[in-house]
């Protein structure tokens, strides 16, 4: 294993499909799939948790993936890196555990600012059966309380890219302190959000008199929110099945809500918390209405561009269902197929109720069959991963990279127009090119 090959600095998933039944037929496919692995989520997670470091234990391929996903920003102190497993480690000629210990010691002695170190597993570390949770425990004995060391897997064998966030947050849950026995009800917003979005949400919750409100992940690794039976969880991202289960095992309770995408989704998301806190209707309207009206007005210009456009979602980010709901209900698009890697019936309960009838819902992927369906349907816009976008563009089909929707601040009222813009832009661009 070579010393940590640093990658540049820049800033949250479920292994098991929820067993709760979806309220409509779902096409389930298992075949070849085209998605990034869970390591990709480090790109936004390391921006979010500002005193954390992500040490991928992987191959040169893993290092290249991270560098290309994050871009090369060598002017910043990187907060992620890859400890590269060399061939001799794979051949069992070196004790990879000792090597990893050496790399971690070297890293932490150079980086006193790091308060939380994640050892992130990869395909190679799984293949050679490196026991990263045990390593994390052992190293914690050496470096705690100054540095907390945790492990999770971002391996592409079983995870899609947003599952990296789920695995990371699920690894954090056992570290959360227990709330006091007489704790007042609190709200825990779960899922990485851009700071600008988090600040807007905090202001609106304050206005509604809802609190205390805490966020997971927090900006600082040392700010761990307490959890227990008085904790109400409002998910900000739909791909956090393992994290939710871990929180529920600690006594927390989820508030059922759609996701805060678009004016309608954001309104209903706040309304779920407001109901739990008994916020009077008049106060809710006084606080929420101005922002909701602004968002609705801002969507009008995108609606004229998107109305009637036929949209096909390939499975990638797990944001597909809420995004499709937003596109259909607020921008008058027509949905052909809404594919998602995993369909969490429970987490998506409110979303599935709002989804218009008509589109095919599919879970998992058999990419060739799905491409056939897509070509036959001849959609106006395909939302898909990077690997499919180029060939489809070459066939004359407009595409939107789904990963862009994860990297961009899209949640909340103020971002509704930007979110719509991400979908209308390919059409505007084509119109200009044609002109
Ligand atoms: Fe590739 Fe696996 Fe490394 Fe991801 S974890 S970059 S899929 S080798």
Residue 62 Cβ contacting ligand 1 at under 6 Å: yes
Place of tokens 């779960």: 190
Share of the chain above pLDDT 70, in %: 90
Q: Is residue 62 marked as binding?
A: yes
**What value does the mean pLDDT take over residues 137-152?**
93
Query: Residue 87's pLDDT is what?
Result: 66
Pick from 152-161, 250-259, 305-314, 362-371: least confident: 152-161
Indicate which atom in ligand 1 lies nearest the CA of residue 38: 4
Q: Is residue 374 marked as binding?
A: no
Indicate which atom in ligand 1 lies nearest the CA of residue 156: 7
Query: Residue 89's pLDDT is what?
Result: 61
Residue 123 Cβ contacting ligand 1 at under 6 Å: yes
Q: Which of 122, 153, 164 to mutate to test the pocket of ligand 1 (most atoms within 8 A of CB)?
A: 122
Residue 159 Cβ contacting ligand 1 at under 6 Å: no
Indicate which atom in ligand 1 lies nearest the CA of residue 122: 5
**What value does the mean pLDDT take over residues 231-246?**
97
Render pLDDT for 345-386 as a digit per residue (tens, 0 to 9).
899 999 999 999 889 999 988 889 999 999 999 999 999 988
**What value does the mean pLDDT take over residues 230-255?**
97
Residue 58 Cβ contacting ligand 1 at under 6 Å: yes
Confidence of residue 292 (pLDDT cuts 50, 70, 90): very high
| Cβ-Cβ contacts under 8 Å for 263 (sequence gap 6 or more) | 292, 295, 296, 299, 330, 413, 416
Q: Closest Cα to atom 6, ligand 1: which residue?
A: 62
The pLDDT of residue 25 is above 90: no
Q: Closest Cα to atom 7, ligand 1: which residue?
A: 156
**What value does the mean pLDDT take over residues 261-277?**
98
Render pLDDT for 183-206 as a digit per residue (tens, 0 to 9).
999 999 999 999 999 999 999 999
Indicate which atom in ligand 1 lies nearest the CA of residue 66: 6
Residue 388 Cβ contacting ligand 1 at under 6 Å: no
**Considering only CA atoms, which of 276, 270, 261 is closest in space to residue 422?**
261
C-alpha distances (whole Å) from 192 to each of 41, 254, 275 are: 10, 17, 24
pTM of the model: 0.90
Residue 57 Cβ contacting ligand 1 at under 6 Å: no
Residue 65 Cβ contacting ligand 1 at under 6 Å: yes
Q: How far is the CA of 158 from the centre of ligand 1 (A)?
A: 10
Query: Residue 76's pLDDT is what?
Result: 58
Confidence of residue 96 (pLDDT cuts 50, 70, 90): confident
ipTM entry: 0.98
Indicate which atom in ligand 1 lies nearest the CA of residue 61: 6
Residue 155 Cβ contacting ligand 1 at under 6 Å: yes
């Amino acid at each position: 294993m070579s010393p940590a090959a640093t990658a540049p600095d820049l800033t949250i998933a479920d292994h098991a499909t929820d067993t709760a039944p979806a309220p409509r037929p779902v096409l389930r496919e298992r075949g070849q799939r085209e998605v990034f692995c869970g390591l990709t989520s480090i790109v936004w997670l390391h921006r979010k948790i500002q005193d954390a470091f992500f040490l991928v234990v992987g191959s040169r391929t893993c290092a290249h993936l991270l560098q290309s996903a994050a871009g090369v920003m060598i002017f910043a102190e990187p907060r992620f890196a890859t400890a590269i497993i060399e061939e001799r480690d794979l051949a069992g000629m070196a004790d990879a555990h000792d090597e990893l210990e050496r790399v971690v010691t070297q890293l932490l002695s150079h980086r006193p600012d790091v308060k939380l170190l994640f050892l992130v597993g990869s395909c190679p570390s799984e293949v050679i059966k490196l026991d990263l949770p045990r390593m994390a425990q052992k190293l914690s004995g050496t470096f705690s309380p100054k540095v907390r060391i945790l492990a999770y897997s971002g391996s592409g064998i079983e995870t899609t890219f947003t599952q990296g966030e789920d695995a990371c947050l699920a690894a954090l849950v056992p570290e959360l302190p227990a709330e006091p026995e007489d704790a007042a009800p609190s709200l825990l917003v779960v899922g990485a959000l851009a700071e600008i979005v988090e600040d807007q949400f905090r202001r609106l919750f304050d206005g509604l008199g809802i609190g205390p409100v805490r966020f997971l992940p927090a900006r600082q690794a040392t700010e761990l929110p307490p959890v227990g039976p008085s904790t109400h969880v409002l998910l900000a991202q739909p791909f956090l099945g393992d994290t939710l289960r871990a929180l529920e095992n600690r006594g927390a309770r989820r508030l059922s809500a759609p996701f805060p995408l678009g004016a309608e989704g954001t309104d209903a998301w706040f309304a779920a918390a407001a109901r739990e806190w008994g916020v009077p209707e008049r106060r809710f309207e006084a606080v929420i209405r101005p922002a909701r009206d602004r968002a609705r007005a801002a969507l009008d210009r995108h609606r004229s561009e998107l109305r009637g456009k036929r949209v096909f979602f390939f499975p990638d980010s797990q944001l597909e269902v809420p995004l499709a709901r937003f596109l259909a209900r607020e921008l008058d698009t027509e949905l052909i197929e809404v594919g998602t890697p995993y369909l969490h019936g429970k987490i998506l309960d409110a979303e599935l109720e709002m989804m218009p009838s008509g589109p095919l819902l599919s879970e998992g992927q058999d990419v060739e069959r799905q491409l056939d369906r897509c070509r036959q349907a001849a959609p106006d816009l395909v939302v898909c991963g990077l690997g499919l976008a180029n060939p489809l563009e070459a066939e004359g089909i407009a595409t939107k990279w789904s990963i862009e929707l994860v990297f961009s601040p899209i949640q909340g009222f103020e971002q509704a127009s930007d979110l719509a813009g991400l979908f209308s832009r390919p059409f505007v661009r084509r119109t200009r090119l044609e002109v």
